[in-house]
Structure 1
């Protein structure tokens, strides 16, 4: 199922406040595959991370076949959310927002699960639509954008959906000399300038979980891999034909930024990290041809080889090839020279919004 694009053309956030406050902010992002928590305090134009948590829960496992969240998947997710609750209490969180995305949007028993979460954990989960999900992801990732390129496509490869957002930057000025690289090394996002304006977005209800369930995730032939690439390419070709982004790429006016476990895994494999390290991944620029070559290398691995790779492991071994296929399809549609990779997104966008509301 394809969600039609909608023009938004709006400032996604105001400039962050310079005032610090005593609130402790937290964001929970419950997706089709992952449950993530971020706890932080506001600081000058930014926030300081106090605690994080991430666990692969596979909430959407089997959803494409049954239309419902399974009991086992819900139990796994509730276990992770209970850990989040204990962290919230320990950190003295004063302002919190918890969001759920594609799995709960699609599941016939999604609303029932939200009520169960409230009963068993006390958390108020809010199911957000694709548009708000895209907007929040942009808010979280925008500090990594190159201010010298006026336009960007930001893609988010999720477990049950993939979103691509087209944004313009309304200013090239910045009140900070922080670069994406130094922001990444410090573990802090760059100040929220220039402001991104979302012009349009496009979403398809296909992500790493849904694609792996359709085509398989363990033993994948080269022919099957190419089928996955072509399917996603065809899905997003509509968005390309509407706006002509490929010409902007040729004119050197458009950059590509990716946020998801797929692209961060690619960087981890590329850098041959002994274990995944966010500080060495977030903000990385990687040549797109190199990234596509890595996709083919991973797709050619056996399942056991993927499990043995420290940046893939057993939890992603059956999903990463589907993610590689999605990325390659997008990279073929919009063949930029380099890809900026973000290990941030929805959670950071929620925090920026909570802080700016104060």
Structure 2
């Protein structure tokens, strides 16, 4: 089909909306929204979605439903990822989403998430294949290698919210060396799994997605405020990734909050997110990362069309 479609992505940290027109192989944004709702609050520890986290998510979704109706989208797809995969009470989430949107949310597997992210991130890239697409989320990170399509993928349970709650929440401000070493150990263990499952050595270009990556890029570019047009397809050197990560991990919460490109809901988790990107660049010896503002939302929209 072609026409006006709506894609909703509900992750561990944020819920996002894309309303777009898809005509003759071109995707044109009408609305692209993001709200940090921290749906995955406490899931790593309790295995359940917290009532207040569910209500924050449903409140954001009700606003999205109004926008979808205003634009007259002819098809809507709601996708949920890491936090809801892990939660014992995900039926409460499913029922709430059905009530709001009139469709059942798809609690997709890590492999499905990887395929959608790859499609969204690489559709507008014209050179540099094969790609390693890395989508750093709140609860998990997806690794996908491919050229025109995803050829190998793995989702691992490292994400900025999960690692922050596991190791950094009570680790001082800024966090101490012991806590950071624990984060690195978890990341490296996950990267061992990636090495054994995904042919990273085939990739010529590292493509980074999601808020941790785009925030690091905005800081590296010295932007006074968040500017998606400047960030999209920016090439950030490995040296800049390492330097920004070092600075973030040495800052207090207040200092991070004062960074112009920083979303308030990302202040407490950006250190872990940046460290994931930093260790990926180091482990797989990429000289730079190509940053993409296009991601799983765009992949959902393309699949709808």
User: What TM-score, normalized to structure 1?
Assistant: 0.80
SS of match in other structure, 1:347: helix
| 1:134-149 paired onto structure 2 within 5 Å | 134-145=114-125, 147=127, 149=128
Q: 1:164 aligns with which of 143, 146, 152?
A: 143
Looking at structure 1, the residues matched to 123 and 200 of structure 2 have their Cα atoms a distance apart, in angstroms, of 22
| 1:170-319 paired onto structure 2 within 5 Å | 196-217=148-169, 218-241=173-196, 245-246=200-201, 248=202, 254-319=204-269
Contact kept, 8 Å, 1:27 with 1:347, in 2: the verdict is yes
SS of match in other structure, 1:27: strand
CA positional deviation for 1:272: 2.1
CA positional deviation for 1:306: 0.4
CA positional deviation for 1:242: 5.1
Contact kept, 8 Å, 1:31 with 1:59, in 2: the verdict is yes
Looking at structure 2, the residues matched to 106 and 243 of structure 1 have their Cα atoms a distance apart, in angstroms, of 23
CA positional deviation for 1:243: 5.6
Looking at structure 1, the residues matched to 194 and 59 of structure 2 have their Cα atoms a distance apart, in angstroms, of 39
Give the equivalent residue in structure 2 for 1:102.
82
4+ long deviations beyond 4 Å: 241-244
Give the equivalent residue in structure 1 for 2:110.
130
Structure 1 unaligned regions, length at least 5: 1-16, 170-195
SS of match in other structure, 2:149: strand
CA positional deviation for 1:338: 1.4
Looking at structure 2, the residues matched to 224 and 121 of structure 1 have their Cα atoms a distance apart, in angstroms, of 41
Looking at structure 2, the residues matched to 278 and 145 of structure 1 have their Cα atoms a distance apart, in angstroms, of 16
CA positional deviation for 1:124: 2.8
Looking at structure 2, the residues matched to 335 and 96 of structure 1 have their Cα atoms a distance apart, in angstroms, of 40
| 1:18-29 paired onto structure 2 within 5 Å | 21=2, 23-29=3-9
Judged with a 3 Å threshold, the aligned counterparts in structure 2 of structure 1 residues 245 and 126 are, in CA distance, closer, same or farther, namely closer
**Aligned residues, how many?**
302
Contact kept, 8 Å, 1:104 with 1:111, in 2: the verdict is no
Looking at structure 2, the residues matched to 354 and 241 of structure 1 have their Cα atoms a distance apart, in angstroms, of 33
CA deviation map 1:224-243 (0-9, x unaligned): 22331232122212332456
User: What TM-score, normalized to structure 2?
Assistant: 0.93
Contact kept, 8 Å, 1:145 with 1:257, in 2: the verdict is no
What is the aligned-residue RMSD (CA, Å)?
1.8
Q: 2:286 aligns with which of 323, 336, 353?
A: 336
| 1:52-91 paired onto structure 2 within 5 Å | 52-91=32-71
Looking at structure 2, the residues matched to 93 and 198 of structure 1 have their Cα atoms a distance apart, in angstroms, of 28
1:323 aligns with 2:278: no
- Rg larger for: 1
